[in-house]
Chain A
Amino acid sequence: MSELVQVQDLRISYETARGIVYALDGVDLTVYSSQILGIVGESGSGKSTLGMAIGRLLPSNSLRTSGDLFVNGKSIFDIGDEQIRLLRQTSLGFVFQNPMSTLDPTMRVGRQIRLVLNGPASDDSIYELLRRVGLPDVKRVARSYPHQLSGGMAQRVVVAMAISRQPSLLIADEPTASLDASVREQILRLLLSVREETGVAIILLSHELGLVAKYCDTIAVMYGGRLIEAGSNVSVFGRPGHPYTKALLEAAPGSERPGDWLEAIPGVPPVLQSSAHGCVFEPRCKFAQETCRTVRPALRPIENRLVACHRAEEVLRAEPSTAATHGRIA
């Protein structure tokens, strides 16, 4: 397993009308080839910013205040516009949330694929690509306009376009959030089968714990612009080491027994107007103590994962308050 993406102490903020908002507040992360990494977090946790940063696709009001991000060993912030374009074209594939707005409404699907392929492409190669993402009746699909397809079919087309240039990394930002429940699993299984076939690494950005737990081998949990826990699926979701991960699992529907309460997390996630001194989760944390307010917990290895919590040992030892003992979620 070679290192595909390395994020080092990355800080990204946005200049908005209401002042500066910190989206990423010192994130360290490594993505290996052929890995399928699920990044979990609420909206505003910074996961989309992280995903877009990998392709340097951040909006123009964004600002990198520290850190760096390497793809294939090269800093994406150091290279020129043409080089980043070639990197996107050859090494990265993106799948966005809403396939209907991702596809150009005025152009037939086949033509859009041809444009992305960037070079002479035969009709057959386009049909073959559509077949690979599990679409039936590929000739008709290629002739269709996006609005003539269902959401699930359109997302398959987007996946086809994203993998058409054999990328080494696929970044899927909430790829199923706008789809029907019945189609969600299909799209994720499709991403999985693409990985089986091509060995592409996948970063799945999602707020749906169930899907991430089911499909990803590695998990990273983000909160308030920071990475707070990362490790294998089994260790992170099986026995969380961060109070937030633990609370998320307890709040997730699906693992409760009849009659059990779902444990909601009190409070709301932060909008960071400044970089917090202590732990960002401290105001909502059951385990909070004085040091949490003043000292930022570093990401440290403990029991097969990385955790950013002063009291991770106690969290790991603590009795699950509800259903988490009764089986894994999803």
Chain B
Amino acid sequence: MQIIQYVIGRFFVALATMFGVSIVIFAAVRMVPGGFEQVVLGPLATPESRAVIIAKFALDRSIIEQYGHWLVAAVHGDFGISMVTQTSVTQELIRRAPATIQLALMSLVMALSVGLPLGVISGLTNGRPWQRSLGRLLGALGASIPDFVLGSLFLFVFTVWSLGPTIGGYVPFFEDPWTNLRAMVLPAVTLAVFGIALILRTARDAVKSVMIEGYIAFAVACGERPSRIVRYHVLRNAAIPIITVTATYLGYLLGGAIIVEVLFSVPGVGLYTYNGLMNRDYAIVQASVLVAAAVFIAINMVADTIYTLLDPRISAQQRAS
């Protein structure tokens, strides 16, 4: 029951956050220099043609009026039409979502399956000094190398030599799984490297800080098996920070990894956002940022709910406050 109350409470907070995000993004898009009419018509257009465009998209109305109009439609799931392609933004987002979701899941699975065990193991064992230094170096490198650098590197290597994975050439997974995977593996790895480093470091630090807790010493003193101590005491207590970064990472991935999608021509939400931004196609940018924010908030809500299940003290604190 408490968990349901908690989720409902969080839902209203999320709604308020979304409202704030929508205002910020609506204003921010319009602050980008060069309006839609300038970008789409170019510098040599006549004032008349500009006026036509402005009138057509109601860009002459006050920003508050525009916002109100847009918000009412957005609440009903209608994000308007792309001013460039004249297609429904909602339809287009739905059409492009599978590529982004697939990319996100592939990266997440890679990041978790490599980062989590390595992080837990290095948190449990001290290792030799050189092993610790090497681990730290790789962790720092993985977390700090920008995805456009790593992506460009892959781009170079895999276009010069044909090694299997392809650059671009995306087809939907259910049409041709093999071709799809060949096109998706490089962007997924590019995104996973950061995730591996992030999850590895967090897991290592979390496990290390749990290992010095009194209840671990007590479990050892009681003669519990090491494997059981890890399974029942260490993992559960170390889980919260790991879930936090994993949720943040997944939110980042699902929001559309813009640079990686552009680099590898993955026709997902990120590429769509990029094109919208380049064309000052306000409807697209507003919609995709809002959707990304919603996904991010939803994932964090799920993560917060998991915390209360993992650590009873968290729900007790919430009841007290």
**Is B30 on the interface with A (CB-CB < 8 A)?**
no
Chain A's closest residue to B232 (CB) is A115
Q: Which of A60, A88, A101 meets B222, CB within 8 Å?
A: A88
Taking a contact as CB atoms under 8 Å apart, the answer to whether A85 and B225 are in contact is yes
How far, in angstroms, from A46 to B313 measured CA to CA in the complex? 35
Q: Can you list 19 A-B contacts (CB < 8 A)?
A: A57-B221, A60-B126, A86-B223, A88-B223, A92-B223, A96-B214, A98-B214, A101-B213, A105-B215, A105-B313, A106-B310, A107-B232, A107-B233, A107-B236, A116-B224, A145-B312, A145-B313, A147-B313, A162-B222
Q: Kindly state whether residue A102 has any CB partner on chain B within 8 Å.
A: yes
Question: Chain B, 214-251, contact with A by CB distance < 8 Å: what is the 0/1 string?
Answer: 11011111111110100011001100000000000000
Interface extent on B, as a size class?
A: 20 to 34
B residues less than 8 Å from A116 (CB atoms): 219, 222, 224
Query: Who on chain B is nearest to A116 by CB?
Result: B222
**Residue B311 at the chain A interface, CB threshold 8 Å:** yes
A201 to chain B, nearest CB (A): 16
Contact code string A86-116 (vs B, CB < 8 Å = 1, else 0): 1111101110101001111111000000011
A105 to B213, CA, bound (A): 11
What's the Cα separation between A60 and B125 when bound, in Å?
Answer: 11
- Nearest CB of chain A from residue B123's CB, rounded to whole Å: 14
Q: Is the CB of B313 within 8 A of A102?
A: no
Q: Which residue of B lies closest to A60 (CB)?
A: B126
Q: Bound complex: CA of A88 vs CA of B219, how far in Å? A: 10
- Measured CB to CB, the closest approach of chain A to B51, in angstroms, equals 65
Asked if B312 contacts A147 (CB within 8 A), the reply is yes
Give me 19 other A-B pairs in contact (C-beta within 8 A), A116-B219, A116-B224 excluded.
A55-B221, A57-B221, A60-B126, A85-B223, A88-B220, A88-B222, A89-B223, A90-B223, A94-B218, A94-B221, A96-B218, A96-B221, A104-B215, A105-B237, A106-B236, A115-B224, A118-B224, A148-B316, A158-B218
Docked pose: A245 CA to B132 CA in angstroms? 47
A161 at the interface (CB under 8 A from B): yes
Residues of A within 8 A of B (CB): 55, 57, 60, 85-90, 92-94, 96, 98, 101-107, 115-116, 118, 145, 147-148, 158, 161-162, 165
Contact with A along B114-158 (1 / 0, CB 8 A): 000000000000100000000000000000000000000000000
Measured between beta carbons, the chain A residues less than 8 angstroms from B311 are 105-106
- B221–A104 contact, CB under 8 A? no
With A98-B214, A104-B215, A104-B237 known as contacts, the answer to whether A57 contacts B220 (CB < 8 A) is yes
- A102 cross-chain contacts in B, Cβ below 8 A: 214-215, 217-218
B312 in contact with A87 (CB, 8 Å)? no
Cβ contacts under 8 Å, A147 to chain B: 312-313, 316
CA distance A295 to B220 in the complex (A): 40
* Cα A87 to Cα B311 with chains together (Å): 32
Chain B CB count within 10 A is highest, among A92, A102, A104, A161, for A104
Whole-angstrom CA separation of A104 from B220 in the bound complex = 13
Q: Which residues of A contact B233 (CB under 8 A)?
A: 104, 107
Q: Produce 1/0 per residue, B24-48, CB < 8 A to A.
A: 0000000000000000000000000
A55–B220 Cα distance when bound, in Å, is 10
* Nearest chain A residue, comparing its CB with the CB of B213: A101
